[in-house]
Chain A
Amino acid sequence: MNEWERMLALLGVGVAALVVLHGAGALLSRRRLGTAEVRGAEHAPPVGPFTGGAPPAAHAFSRFHVRWYAVAMIFLAFDMEMLFMYPWVRVVAETGTTAVVEMFLFLGILFAGVTYAWREGALRWS
């Protein structure tokens, strides 16, 4: 098996274990329900969500305004940088100073952007 076939095999083992777990859970809970007074409870109607006692006024599935959307955008821009950083790691030793200067110039530019965002309060949301 090569290195990626092993990953696939491991994924298979993990998924199989989860399927077995869910199967065992279904069996055990059915047996437990069978002996309890509440027969037929596996068809129990769905309950309301936990709201600390208050009646749920609306579905939670609705538009949800996150305050950190600006951070998310900045993150996505900065995250692109990792695309270069990982291959860079492989060649620093042989390329030498050029590689270090180039990468940290690149990072410096991006971090200047982050500093600007911080200065503008974009990293705070509450």
Chain B
Amino acid sequence: MADAWWSVLALPVMLVVAACVAAGFDALLGASAAYGPAGSVRVWGTRAATPLREARRLLGQPARRTKAADTALVRVGTALLPTAALLAGAVLPLGFTAVSDPGVGIVWFNAMEALAWAAVWLTGWGPNAALSMIGGYRFLALGLAYELPHMFALTTAGLGAGSLRVGEVVAAQEGLWFAVWMPVAFAVYLLSALAMAFWGPFDQPVGADAAQGAAAELSGVDRLVFFGGRWLLLVVAAAFSVPLFLGGGHGPLLPAWAWTVVKTAAVLALLIGVRRALPTLRLDRFMGLAWMVLLPLVLLQALAVSVVVVLR
């Protein structure tokens, strides 16, 4: 397991492919909601390839700069988003090997995912534009709300296994998935996965009400990297729920890697579907909800799990 050095090269490719498939799925959902179901395979394919065409268009788009912009910070901010997602993905047990499985893997995931705070704020600040800056600040407000429940959800999964190593968390779920006996932590994790990718009900940082907020002034490769990074973050956040709560590669008949793919796809489809089912949540509303409802709930969940762990 430790010798698969090529996983360093394979992981980025796998994550990008997964992000393209997820974006294609989202585009299909969006197109069939707008124009009705696809009449033929060709239409279906055209619709599914929309994100790829968009990526190609952005790649060749000449950059557009705003006055007195801090272009360097925009570059750093946009680049940080996919980088954070990629590094967070390093601890994913892909079913056959993880790029790296350090003893503090859960803390590592948390630290890398927190880099999105810096990434989105810098992206919003850099262009010297009011709407874009509003988007950046919104992400920090969102972070203040989601981060603590998120950390406790991560900790609860580690608590169930008595370890912060992702591989050991998976091994501890051979009999029973953590999602079964810590459902609150699982639900809170899914919510925070939506929030960390500012997706679905938490899309205020790039909200339509602020002309795409943090991304309002992005063009060309910067825009491609920013939104690509967001997709990567969503994929990694969804994929990490599998080793934490859904038993990783454990399952009957299929090999571990296949179960990992199936479970990740299911969670990702759920997260993508949620966007069309739920309206955008105003952040000032979510703040109270997160601190006074989600936080106590997940703390009680952690208490219950720790009692089980002590009695076991």
Contacts and interface: CB of A to CB of B under 8 A. Distances in A.
A32 B60 contact: yes
Contacts of B291: 71, 114, 118, 123
A3 interface: yes
A28 B60 contact: yes
Interface in A27-75: 28-29, 31-33, 41-42, 44, 46-52, 56, 59-61, 64, 66, 68, 71-72, 75
Give the interface SS of chain A, mostly helix, strand, loop or mixed.
Answer: helix
Nearest to B151: A82
A25 B100 contact: no
A31 B59 CA distance: 12
A93 to B, nearest CB: 5
A19 B245 CA distance: 36
Interface size bucket, B side? 35 or more
Nearest to A27: B60
A125 B100 contact: no
Given A18-B79, A25-B60, A49-B67, A60 B287 contact: no
A62 B137 CA distance: 14
B68 A59 contact: yes
Contact of A47 (B66, B99, B306): B66
A27 to B, nearest CB: 9
A75 B141 CA distance: 11
B2 to A, nearest CB: 8
In the complex, which range does the number of interface residues on chain A fall in?
35 or more
Nearest to A12: B8
B116 to A, nearest CB: 14
Interface in B142-175: 144, 147-148, 151-152, 155, 158-159, 162-164
A118 B288 contact: yes
Contacts of A7: 87, 90, 99-100, 108
A11 B130 contact: no
Given A46-B65, A93-B309, A75 B148 contact: yes
Contacts of B42: none
Contacts of B211: 50, 52
13 contacts: A4-B100, A4-B102, A10-B11, A10-B86, A25-B63, A46-B66, A47-B65, A50-B211, A75-B144, A79-B148, A86-B158, A93-B162, A97-B310
Interface of A: 1, 3-4, 6-7, 9-11, 13-15, 17-18, 21-22, 24-26, 28-29, 31-33, 41-42, 44, 46-52, 56, 59-61, 64, 66, 68, 71-72, 75, 78-79, 82, 85-86, 89-90, 92-93, 96-97, 99-100, 103-104, 107, 111, 114-115, 118, 123-126
